[in-house]
Amino acid sequence: MKKLEYIARIHTDFPTKFGIPRQSGLVSTKGTIVFEPEYRKEEALKGLEEYSHLWLIWGFSEVVRENWSPTVRPPRLGGNKRCGVFATRSPFRPNPIGLSCVRLLGIEKRPEKGMVVEVEGADLMDGTPILDIKPYLPYVDCMPDARGGFADRVKGYALEVEIPEELLLKLPNEQQGCVREILAEDPRPSYQNDPDRVYGMEYAGYEIKFRVKDYRLTVCEIERAAADRTIK
């Protein structure tokens, strides 16, 4: 088998793992795919504009472990119940490979970067390496009668998000909706449920602090992050 090579990296507004949506398509966050120099071939993207969605195959660059466990604790089950690793989408797998379905927003040529691909709904940290891109084919990829296992039982889970107006206005207009969506997905580690604890999440160059009590998330502070790592 040929050794796998990264063809690109995706740039998003998530500089760390904390706060990244647990699945693709849940939040309308944006991402920009920039190809490695040897893969900046305009003809390689010919016809891609005809599709509305894409599959991204990528590497878990921040959670690589030497050993793997046959069972994991899915966050949506409270972090207590164990499931087989192949029955989950846990990043702690024998091979650290992820799969995401994203909406294609556009393809354009940029100076010094060549052709880039703009997407929406990515659940990836900034700088995540991309192994491959494939078009989403509705007639084969969409299975209306598919069963979703335990995920079907928790798919409606969401927190009520409260952001005081004076704090919300600190965010750019185009980021306000995304922040609400991210927080509603409950970015806390599954094993933490302390109503007095203040959690901090960095997103789009802002540090957002919040508390959670009885399924209500209240933002208590929004400030510019110490190091603005927003992708330009």
The structure tokens listed for 106 are 């556009």
Question: Higher-confidence residue: 64 or 134?
Answer: 134
Residue 226 has pLDDT above 90, yes or no: no
Tens of pLDDT, residues 73-105: 887 776 678 889 999 888 888 888 999 999 999
Tokens 């040529």 -> residue: 109
Determine the topology of domain 152-224 in CATH.
YaeB-like fold (3.30.2310)
Q: What is the mean pLDDT of residues 107-113?
A: 94
pLDDT for 229: 52
Contact 31, 100 (CB under 8 A): no
Q: Domain map of the chain by residue range? A: 8-61+96-141, 152-224
Residue 3 has pLDDT above 90, yes or no: no
Architecture in CATH of 8-61+96-141: Beta Barrel (2.40)
Strands (E), the chain: 8-11, 30-35, 53-59, 71-72, 83-84, 97-110, 114-120, 128-135, 160-162, 199-203, 206-213, 216-224
Same fold yes or no, 8-61+96-141 and 152-224:
no
d(CA 229, CA 87): 35
Q: Which amino acid is at 70?
A: P
Tens of pLDDT, residues 172-192: 999 999 999 999 999 988 777
**pLDDT grade, residue 165 (50/70/90)?**
very high
Residue 40 has pLDDT above 80, yes or no: yes
**pLDDT grade, residue 232 (50/70/90)?**
very low
Tens of pLDDT, residues 139-156: 999 999 999 888 887 777
Q: What share of the chain is helix, strand, coil (3-state, %, to 5)?
A: 20, 30, 50
Question: Higher-confidence residue: 61 or 229?
Answer: 61
pLDDT for 1: 83
